[in-house]
Structure 1
């Protein structure tokens, strides 16, 4: 009999990338055995989902472009409206900063933008005024709107404590960020333009500032220098293997993200032996009746925000520093409502009857609150509801299978999961949602967002 893992080993495992796929696969095995608690699964629909994704890829990309679909990262959202805003931003720095500082700045921007990317709700938009990049005024909702708002605030120096270095994010700038500055930056009007979880986002950024100060090994370049997310660039380059190409293990980057930002998570998140685990949740489909009270065998890690951030940080390293990532295939699909919604809208997953009724009761109760629009009724749940946990776990495991089907249908075995997500499942989830729920274009299951679940 093998010895029981120590508390430290258990925490290390649950905060690792392999644990995400491992535990999601265990939930999928329960689905195959007909033992899910909250969803019914029609496995015959898997190929239909893959075919729908492939049809959109073929529609949106020239056949010669498909092998070069860009990866699914936060930087894609800055390009909305076919405007390459990041290129314009980088061009504005040329001649004034070197390549390392350029990457530091892009990492700064990426980190805050990812952290601000929780669900915005159906009523909020961000208006981009005419400028030298976009000639006409236009409003953007959801992820793209949040991305452009974060980019605008970054350019205005709202996250910097140094008026002479506005294009940076630093710990003091975040810790001293006024709520009103964030409200103004997001163009929030509680009546006309309400944003879900504004105060939750504000607290998240303030906790980020605290986390940066707690981990100088990753985020400080020495005394009298600002403590910044972007300083992880220097740490990772120092930790790299040099040769014809600079090679960095994906585990090294993920470790910085998962441990360096550990303090951002609310105290309500799952803990084990007094240690916060972050985006890790108990899944009742994996809970054995005779399990001990302190068992973690039913804990399912997602680390969605951490993986989203990892995917996004990888890109400037690759394009500007010629870095090659080792073991990047450890990253999983992202368990968020576009990918997960695709599985429900195309019939692969269906809420069990009792859960559907419970979710609709939740919707009814929530719709009576001030400011809640009573349109497009969908089952509604809190982020920690067992329905949401099971849905997210099935999403992670199913995305691997969809990706394999997509590669087969396109005869492109080297297409990465990040490309399938971008090309891909995320767009397919959004497109089917806009057809199924044209008023809100929202997901088939609503999550009551507090600005901290991603």
Structure 2
């Protein structure tokens, strides 16, 4: 299929990093003029949000440690309970894998783990059995539980087609993955331990297998037979090798990694996602707040861009290349805050954003309808919407733009102008959103607005 130059340019823009922040800013400007469709916004409470975030950072980190807060990446979730599980895994590879292969394996793990990180629901947990360092079994839920489940499956070789190389993720291993294997790996019991969107996650991983097969420019390696997500390391490292070094570091554009993630995994998205002339845009949605009723029918000017999964993956892949392969990331500030329910929930729970009465009523009706389905616990009633609902789209766009402003205020209050957005997310907003949710809704610890997860929206 041949696209016209203008269509190709539009698609390229909507799949770019700058588009995320630029389109979110259009929505925020509507909020400043009190013109949002589904939310009322109290801009005066922005400082309250920042103060709450700062209070948690100061509580959880010593003053001299705040500037060293690690970035918000998937690797943090493997550390739950204070255990360096990834470090132990890397140690077990010593003598059998050089630095490059070690990072390839970590990228393999990160890619599948991020893809499995959709909302798990309020009932699912993953039990870690006792071992030499943990004397009793412990159960983990939500993102940490999903992280440990994916780590266990990776170590068991469930994503590899090569019995001699279990600690890898390859195309054939993903394409041949069975739903039963994934269900077993997640310890799912439909009655006692249900996981939202199990089949959606399974289909996503199988589509990942097909996607990396059709992008050999990123995922094939002449020296390694397997087609793997981790082979992108060689592609990226070549860019750093071909450019002038800076302070003895390999300089790689953040946009280059993001392009690999966006283009190389383009085929993972379900057919229901927004597309232009058959080309899927991924996490891109029409937003009523910025829609011009006089615009041409095929206009994309009202599309808001999130690429939350792709950014989460980009943040996470950056870390091992930086720490183990001496890579310095150029233009990393293009990455935005992540529009997910903890960050967005923080803004709602602290009164910065409030659903308009009509939408609140509609969301509660959705909740009641969903609560009648088998296995749905009728506790802690919250407005509930499908991922594609315009309420969710407006909420997510406001989350992206507001996180930038929260970060500015947090830096001012801490007097740390160089604190990165990834550090603010990790030390502050993500934690704060989770903590206030656990206080406000102690039974479920869920968000103030629920999204009906299908395993593909993150």
TM-score bracket, shorter-length normalisation:
over 0.9
Q: Distance in 1 between matches of 2:411 and 2:113?
A: 31
SS of 2:82's partner is: coil
Moved more, 125-134 or 85-94: 125-134
Residue 386 of structure 2 is matched in structure 1 by 382
Q: Distance in 2 between matches of 1:224 and 1:249?
A: 25
Give per-residue Cα distances to partners, 1:317-358, cap 9 Å, x unaligned.
011011100000000000000000000000000000000000
Cα displacement string for residues 213-272 of structure 1 (whole angstroms, at most 9, x for unaligned residues)? 010000000387000000000000112224221000000000000000000000000011
Query: Any stretches of 5+ residues in structure 1 without a counterpart?
Result: none
Paired position in structure 2 for 1:284:
288
Number of residues of Structure 1 aligned to a counterpart in Structure 2 = 451
**410-419 or 220-229, which deviates more:** 220-229
Give CA deviations for 1:182-230 in whole Å, capped at 9, x if unaligned. Answer: 0000000000000000000000000000000010000000387000000
| Structure 2 residue 434 is matched with structure 1 residue 422 | no
2:297 corresponds in structure 1 to: 293
How far apart are residue 142 of structure 1 and its match? Answer: 0.3
Residue number among 235, 247, 250 corresponding to 2:251 in the alignment = 247
1:98 corresponding residue in structure 2: 98
Which of 271, 285, 289 in structure 2 is aligned with 1:267?
Answer: 271
Secondary structure at 1:139's aligned position in 2?
Answer: strand
In structure 1, the residue corresponding to 2:354 is in which secondary structure? strand
Could you tell me how far apart the structure 2 residues matched to 1:76 and 1:84 are? 9
Q: SS of the residue aligned with 2:95?
A: coil
- SS of 1:325's partner is strand
1:134 positional shift = 2.4
Is structure 2 residue 23 aligned with structure 1 residue 23? yes
Scaled by the length of structure 1, what TM-score is found?
0.98
How many Å apart are 1:291 and its aligned residue? 1.0
- Could you list the per-position Cα deviations for residues 154-198 of structure 1 after superposition, in whole angstroms to 9, with x for gaps in the alignment? 000000000110000000000000110000000000000000000
**From 342, 349, 352, the counterpart of 1:348:** 352
In 2, the alpha carbon distance for the partners of 1:448 and 1:396 equals 20
How far residue 133 of structure 1 moved from its aligned partner, in angstroms, is: 3.6
Whether the aligned pair in 2 keeps the contact of 1:196 and 1:449 (CA below 8 Å) is yes
Cα separation, 2, equivalents of 1:33 and 1:273: 34
1:7-406 matches, cutoff 5 A: 7-222=7-222, 225-240=225-240, 241-243=243-245, 244-406=248-410
Distance 1:203 1:103 in 2: 26
What's the TM-score, normalizing by structure 2?
A: 0.98
Q: Is the 8 A contact 1:339 1:395 kept in 2?
A: yes
RMSD over aligned Cα atoms: 1.0
For residue 5 of structure 1, report the CA deviation from its aligned partner: 7.3
Separation in 1 of the partners of 2:274 and 2:168?
Answer: 32
1:453 aligns with 2:457: yes
Give the Cα separation in 1 of the matches to 2:189 and 2:126: 11
Q: Secondary structure at the match of 2:436?
A: helix
C-alpha distance in structure 1 between counterparts of 2:5 and 2:359, whole Å: 36
Distance 1:149 1:430 in 2: 20
CA distance in 2, matches of 1:134, 1:418: 30
Does the residue aligned with 1:80 lie in a helix, a strand or coil?
Answer: helix
Aligned mates of 1:370, 1:117 — CA distance in 2: 24
Q: Which runs of structure 1 show a deviation greater than 2 angstroms over 4 or more consecutive aligned residues?
A: 132-135
The question of whether the paired residues in 2 share the 8 Å contact of 1:247 and 1:326 is answered with yes
Distance 1:132 1:336 in 2: 36
User: What is the CA–CA distance in structure 1 between the aligned matches of 2:420 and 2:260, rounded to whole Å?
Assistant: 23
Deviations 1:279-338 (A, max 9, x none): 000000010110111000000010000000000000000110111000000000000000
Cα displacement (A) at 1:387:
0.1
Name the SS for the 1:126 alignment partner: strand
**Maintained 8 Å contact 1:85/1:133:** no
Q: Quick one: distance in 1 between partners of 2:5 and 2:53?
A: 41
**SS state of the match for residue 318, structure 2?**
helix
Which segments of 5 or more consecutive residues in structure 2 lack a partner in the other structure? Answer: none
Structure 2 Cα separation of the partners of residues 227 and 405 of structure 1: 44
CA distance in 1, matches of 2:296, 2:386: 26
1:405 deviates by 0.1
* Deviates most, 218-227 or 83-92: 218-227
Match of 2:275, SS?
strand
